[in-house]
Amino acid sequence: MSDVFKPANPDFDRVVCQSFAAQGLMVTLGARLQTVAAGRVVIEVPFTAGLSQQKGFFHGAVLGGIGDSAGGYAALTLLPAGSEVVSIEYKINFLKPAVGDVLRATGRVVRSGRSVSVCQIDIEAIASGKASLCGVMQASFMRVEG
Amino acid sequence: MSDVFKPANPDFDRVVCQSFAAQGLMVTLGARLQTVAAGRVVIEVPFTAGLSQQKGFFHGAVLGGIGDSAGGYAALTLLPAGSEVVSIEYKINFLKPAVGDVLRATGRVVRSGRSVSVCQIDIEAIASGKASLCGVMQASFMRVEG
Amino acid sequence: MSDVFKPANPDFDRVVCQSFAAQGLMVTLGARLQTVAAGRVVIEVPFTAGLSQQKGFFHGAVLGGIGDSAGGYAALTLLPAGSEVVSIEYKINFLKPAVGDVLRATGRVVRSGRSVSVCQIDIEAIASGKASLCGVMQASFMRVEG
Amino acid sequence: MSDVFKPANPDFDRVVCQSFAAQGLMVTLGARLQTVAAGRVVIEVPFTAGLSQQKGFFHGAVLGGIGDSAGGYAALTLLPAGSEVVSIEYKINFLKPAVGDVLRATGRVVRSGRSVSVCQIDIEAIASGKASLCGVMQASFMRVEG
């Protein structure tokens, strides 16, 4: 649905990149901002042993973490200059073990409201070039003045 | 409510500690298992810049991550020997910025079922010895044979 | 925690009762407002065949419906005169079949914010005078000017 | 994604219709089963004053109720003969007031597992023939032997 959105701030790309760069946890996780489009943001993180749960797969916290960020930044792309977003809440369903070389979160805006935005986020594990959906999220974000 | 629970496996403490120690992400986050009681588990993590969001507070992914683990391990304390748990889903509401020296997640079992357990988890930020509730979670876990 | 809350509007009881009375669905379900205290609201509904799912127990929609209302009205008790609340979202976990003569939802405010309030709601089925927890909810509500 | 699903029970349509007909609440709400396809179920309900919240729009419980049923029956279409589903949990985000003559819930299976199925459900309000997305849900269901 991202093609129907008209961003209120033409400079949204820079705003998202600056905020992402300020998140210490994204550095700790090794996460990279892959795509910043109007209403759609993609974040990826390569697998390392330091991101694992007890079976050696990606830990659920990594899914939740990059998913929350992908959703929040997708919401931010559509907001007026000077806006920031804070997470109100999110919910994640785990579909299967997150086994792969790379984890990818794709956040999409479902509803961009004046004060609350709602996003859905798909989380895929990519193994040998093949993507497999391993989590789905639904999240809401509040706009605040920066 | 944890005092009404009778653990099916007297060795539940060791089971939880072994599984926790195998989670690479808990090491990366610097998380520590503080309490393992029947139906109740506490996990703490000290603040470092590598755990921050863009404002310098604890990132939501840290809340979600130690909360998910505290809930899952609380569920595991009540299950028969040989059991493991996998997260079905969780939902987290953020109440206020997580500002503090330490973040603490307390997971409690609400319902321990044969196949599904439901937990509630409180997340507190501790600043100068004062705890402040900054997140609440509700999560479900599936029992699987180890 | 309701005893620590100081309501901003001394007339909160009347505000909640008027709004509840205007909900056609509460009449359809046969729901009754049992308690309206600062930060805490209880709603009950007696069982009828018209409220059942396919096994003859209370349908999940009845749990969700009175739970959402109990939470929203609990939030409303703490807001300034002239406020209304709209549901942002809720999540419900079903713990066991809701078998009983009466279903009771108890909503409690966890965090009363300027724009967003967060509540937890317990849903109990009461059979022969014995209450059994059959659902737990976590919900957020936005304050709007009435 | 429903076209990629192969139903395990060729008779899934009859199974869903029989279970739906046994839900007293669906009669009370005036809900109708519109579509039963492999992995996809649509339920509609016409507006009446008895389904309203305090502003005269569809009450959130109606959205949650037909959404939960649409998701559960979508999951059921893909399960082996003799299966039933019970709701583990669901989460609903409200996007805008549900104003219209008809409310429509479209449930789609995201993951059909041996024991747990995950669905996403869109809720639209239809006014003068125009559909508007007013709620999104994410839900999980457990398979049980009938």
Cross-chain residue pair A91–C91, CB shorter than 8 Å: yes
Q: Strand locations in chain D, DSSP E?
A: 32-37, 40-46, 83-94, 102-112, 116-127, 130-145
Of A2 and A52, more confident: A52
CA–CA separation, D70 and D88 (whole Å): 14
CA–CA separation, A2 and B3 (whole Å): 50
Q: Check residue A45 and give its pLDDT.
A: 98
Residue of D nearest to C146 (CA): D55
Two tokens at A43? 């974040």
Residue of B nearest to A28 (CA): B50
**pLDDT band at residue C146 under the 50/70/90 scheme:** confident
Residues of chain B found within 8 Å of residue D89, distances taken between Cβ atoms: 88-89, 140
Check pLDDT > 50 for residue C2.
Answer: no
Check pLDDT > 80 for residue D3.
Answer: no
SS3 content of chain D, % helix, strand, coil (to 5): 25, 45, 30
Q: Check residue C49 and give its pLDDT.
A: 94
- Average pLDDT (A12-34) is 95
Q: Does B136 reach chain D within 8 Å, measured CB to CB? A: no
Cross-chain residue pair B142–D116, CB shorter than 8 Å: yes
Q: Does A92 reach chain C within 8 Å, measured CB to CB? A: no
CA–CA separation, B121 and B71 (whole Å): 6
Share of chain B above pLDDT 90, in %: 91
Most confident of A3-7, C102-106, D49-53: C102-106
DSSP C80: P
Lowest mean pLDDT among B136-145, C92-101, D54-63: D54-63
Q: Check residue A103 and give its pLDDT.
A: 98
Residues of chain C found within 8 Å of residue A120, distances taken between Cβ atoms: none
Check pLDDT > 60 for residue B3.
Answer: no
**pLDDT band at residue B1 under the 50/70/90 scheme:** very low
Report how far apart, in Å, the C-alpha atoms of C96 and of each of C40, C63, C99, C134 are. Answer: 24, 12, 9, 5
CB B6 within 8 A of CB B38: yes
Cross-chain residue pair D54–C19, CB shorter than 8 Å: yes
For residue C127, list its beta bridge partners: C130
CB within 8 Å of C75: residues ≥ 6 apart: C85, C107, C109, C112, C117, C119, C141, C143
Q: Check residue D1 and give its pLDDT.
A: 44
- Average pLDDT (D69-98) is 97
* Per-residue pLDDT tens over the stretch B72-88: 999 999 999 999 999 99
Check pLDDT > 90 for residue B16.
Answer: yes
- Average pLDDT (B52-58) is 90
Domain ranges across chain D: 2-145
Cross-chain residue pair A91–D96, CB shorter than 8 Å: no
Residues of chain C found within 8 Å of residue B140, distances taken between Cβ atoms: 93
- Average pLDDT (B96-125) is 97
Partner residue opposite A51 with nearest CB, options B25, B87, B90: B25
Q: Check residue A143 and give its pLDDT.
A: 97
Judged by DSSP in three states, A80 sits in coil
Check pLDDT > 60 for residue B45.
Answer: yes
CA–CA separation, D43 and D124 (whole Å): 11
Q: Which pTM value belongs to this model?
A: 0.96
Indicate the average pLDDT of chain A: 95
Q: Check residue B80 and give its pLDDT.
A: 96
Q: Check residue B6 and give its pLDDT.
A: 87
Decide if the complex's ipTM is over 0.85: yes
Residue of C nearest to D15 (CA): C54
Give me the phi and psi of B104, to 5 degrees please: -125, 125
**pLDDT band at residue B2 under the 50/70/90 scheme:** very low
Q: Check residue A54 and give its pLDDT.
A: 85
Cross-chain residue pair B111–C91, CB shorter than 8 Å: no
* Per-residue pLDDT tens over the stretch C49-84: 999 988 889 999 999 999 999 999 999 999 999 999
Indicate the average pLDDT of chain D: 95
CB B53 within 8 A of CB A86: no
CA–CA separation, B60 and B134 (whole Å): 10
* Per-residue pLDDT tens over the stretch B61-75: 999 999 999 999 999
Q: Does B61 reach chain C within 8 Å, measured CB to CB? A: no
Of D71 and D146, more confident: D71
- Average pLDDT (A29-41) is 97
Share of chain B above pLDDT 70, in %: 98
CB within 8 Å of D117: residues ≥ 6 apart: D75, D78, D79, D85, D109, D111, D140, D141, D143
Q: How many contacts does A have with D, using Cβ atoms within 8 A?
A: 39
- Average pLDDT (A129-144) is 97
Q: Does B146 reach chain A within 8 Å, measured CB to CB? A: no
- Residue of C85, C86, C87, C89 to mutate when probing chain A, most A C-beta within 10 A: C89
In the block, residue with structure tokens 């789905």:
A136
D-facing residues of C in 24-43 (CB < 8 A) are: 24-25, 27-29
Check pLDDT > 60 for residue C113.
Answer: yes
Q: Check residue D5 and give its pLDDT.
A: 85
**pLDDT band at residue A1 under the 50/70/90 scheme:** very low
CATH class of D2-145: alpha beta
Q: Does D102 reach chain B within 8 Å, measured CB to CB? A: no
Q: Check residue D111 and give its pLDDT.
A: 97
